[in-house]
A and B are shown apart, each in its own frame.
Chain A
């Protein structure tokens, strides 16, 4: 678990800023100070929370707000399947630890070839959860004092953050192809599909894994074990 905490420490700084931004936005959207904090503690999925609150802010209605959150979190179904084999223990414990899965904790716990280190995932998830809820609370309760970190260019930190997480995954031809196809799919769909759909559709790029050689032959991805282990730390 400690390894996971170390791996996400640099990312936690960005997540804290993102949490503050969410708190500020939710407060200004009229959610009050408590609902944003409860949402971060129960939903724990930044992009979905931003989307839902933005819809409410634009008077889009409850159904559209919830739907946007569901679409943005739809990717957690395949992500959950990917970590499931490595998540042992009782039903309740699995369900609870599954909630600590976010893009960042999932990525740093990836060991390549479809393997995951659940200890690292939980350690990273706990750190990110605490940071996310604390950031939200700071933004929702004291946003006026802190100001919105968005003006500091925080929105540019996020593509950079995902780039940090992507780099150790690119360990051979197949992962590079999957990344290129995923990126192209997402970009093509942004103008025509509702938010969230481009991302979850990009997941289909992993069907490349069915082509050609068998799973056993994807040797080069083994390298991801070492570099993926430290994830963001390797930079």
Chain B
């Protein structure tokens, strides 16, 4: 890959991301959403975050895989149920996975 290609990707990805992130706030900023749309976006966080959890845990390129990451996620889930703080959750997830990989 040429260095020029990298800079073109950096530039275009940057411009596209600024546009995608800015679209809503730039066009609709400060204006109340209609109640029905508000009810919809209220469920956006649980829907997207759950999707991120499962794709980060089970996604492996173009297929699904159950691997050492599941052990880390399970350890985090146990810590979550035990009401451990966020840092503890992250601190148990990573070593649990790393440990399983070494086995």
Contacts and interface: CB of A to CB of B under 8 A. Distances in A.
A129 to B, nearest CB: 12
The secondary structure that dominates the B interface is helix
A207 B48 CA distance: 12
A206 B44 contact: yes
Interface in B24-43: 24-33, 35-43
Interface string B1-45: 101011111101110111011111111111111011111111111
B43 A174 contact: yes
A163 interface: yes
A115 B41 CA distance: 9
Interface residues on B, range: 35 or more
A122 to B, nearest CB: 12
Contact of A88 (B29, B63, B94): B29
A108 to B, nearest CB: 10
Interface in A89-120: 89, 91, 94-95, 97-99, 101, 103, 106-107, 110, 112-115
A190 B28 contact: no
B103 interface: no
Nearest to B99: A153
Nearest to B15: A42
Contacts of B43: 174-175, 178, 205-206, 208-209
Contact of B48 (A39, A167, A182, A235): A182
B47 A158 contact: no
Contacts of B21: 45, 73, 76, 79-80, 98-99, 101
B13 A157 contact: no
Interface of B: 1, 3, 5-10, 12-14, 16-18, 20-33, 35-59, 61-64, 68-69, 71-73, 75-77, 79-80, 83-90, 92-99, 101
